[in-house]
A and B are shown apart, each in its own frame.
Chain A
Amino acid sequence: MDYLVANFGAILFYVIAVITVAAAIGVVILRNPVHSAVSLLLTFFMVAVLFIMSRAEFLAAVQVLVYAGGIMVLYLFVIMLVRLTDLGPGTVFLSGAAPLAILGGVVLGCLIAVGILLGSMAAGDGGAAAMTAIEGQEVGNTEAVGWILFTKYLVPFEVVSVVLLVAMIGAIVFGRRDVALISKGEEVEP
C-alpha cells in the first residue's frame, strides 16, 4: 500500500498511457468510422488527463472543449452526412501498401526511440511553479497563460486569427455546391 501511495503519479501515468495507445490503435484498425471517432474521443480525454498531470489545466480544458466538443462533433456530423457504402462490411478498408506502411512506421519509431534514448532529457518537475506565476507572483494557470498570451505572444496570436479567417473562407469555398459541379463539367446557374 505504501508503494502504491508513493508511486501514485507513475502508476497513473502508465495506466493512462496504455489506454491512450490502445485507443489510438483503435482509431487506425477499427473498420467503422463511427467506432474510430469514439476511440479518438477516448484518446483526447486521456491526453487531457496527461495535460493536467503536467500542470496545464487550462490546456486540458481547451482540449476537452475544442477537440472533444467541437472537432469530434464536426467529424461525426460529416460521417452521418456522407454515405459510406463503398467501404462497408466485406470490403477492404486498408490500402494495398498496408504491410509496407506498418513496417515503415515501426522502423521510423525505432529510429526516433534510439535518438531519444541517446539524448539526455530534463528530469524532475523543476518548472511546476512557473506554470502558475506571472513574473514571480502566484496566480492560476489560466491567468498565467492568458497573461503571457496577450503580452509576449500577442503578434503570433493575431497571426493565428488570420489563419482561422483563411480556413473559414476556404471551408466555405470547398463546401459550395457549384465548385464540385463545375469540376464535374456541369452547367451552373449563377
Chain B
Amino acid sequence: MISATHYVALSLILMCIGIVGVMVRRNFITVLMSLELMFNAVNLNLIAFSFRLGDLGGQVLAIFVITVAAAEAAIGLGLIIALVRLKDTVALEKADEMGG
C-alpha cells in the first residue's frame, strides 16, 4: 500500500534535484526549469496530504501554486529577454552589475 511517506519521499527527491539544478547550471533558462521542478515537488506534497487527510483545501492551494508558477515563468522569461538584449548571453555569471 502506498502511504503518504512514499509521496513525501518522491517530493523530497524532486525538490533536491531542483535545488541542485538551480545551483549548478550556468544557463538561466535551465535554472528556471529547475525552479519548475521545485514547484512540482510542492504540488505533489499538497495533493498527497489533501488525499490522506480528506481536505480539498490542499488541491485549492495547489491551484494557487500553479498560478504563481505561471506568473514566475512569465516574469523569468521576460528577464531572460532583457538579459539577452543587454548582454547577448544567457550565462548567469555575466549578470554581475550589482557586484554579485
> Could you list which residues of chain A lie within 8 angstroms of chain B, going by C-beta atoms?
9-10, 13, 17, 20-21, 24-25, 27-28, 33, 36-37, 40, 43-44, 47, 50-51, 53-56, 58-59, 62-63, 66-67, 70-71, 74-75, 78-79, 81-84, 86-87, 92-95, 97-98, 101-102, 104-106, 108-109, 112-113, 116-117, 121-131, 144-145, 148-149, 152-153, 156, 160, 163-164, 166-168, 170-175, 177, 179-181, 183-184
Contacts and interface: CB of A to CB of B under 8 A. Distances in A.
B81 A184 contact: no
29 contacts: A24-B37, A28-B17, A33-B30, A43-B37, A54-B50, A54-B51, A56-B50, A58-B59, A74-B77, A75-B33, A75-B73, A81-B81, A82-B80, A84-B90, A95-B24, A102-B20, A105-B17, A109-B16, A116-B8, A121-B52, A122-B52, A124-B52, A126-B52, A127-B55, A131-B56, A152-B57, A164-B67, A172-B78, A173-B78
Nearest to B52: A122
B56 A148 contact: yes
Given A82-B80, A105-B23, A113 B12 contact: yes
A148 B21 CA distance: 36
Interface string B67-100: 1111111110111111011101111110000000
Complex A-B, nearest 5 residue pairs according to Cβ-Cβ distance, in ascending order: A127-B54, A167-B71, A174-B78, A101-B23, A180-B85
Contact of A9 (B2, B53, B64): B2
A50 B75 CA distance: 28
Interface SS majority for chain B: helix
A121 B45 CA distance: 12
A13 B44 CA distance: 13
Contact of A27 (B5, B21, B92): B21
Nearest to A56: B47
Interface string B23-49: 111110110111011001001100111
Interface of B: 1-10, 12-14, 16-21, 23-27, 29-30, 32-34, 36-37, 40, 43-44, 47-57, 59-60, 62-64, 66-75, 77-82, 84-86, 88-93
Contacts of A123: 1, 3-5, 52
A93 to B, nearest CB: 6
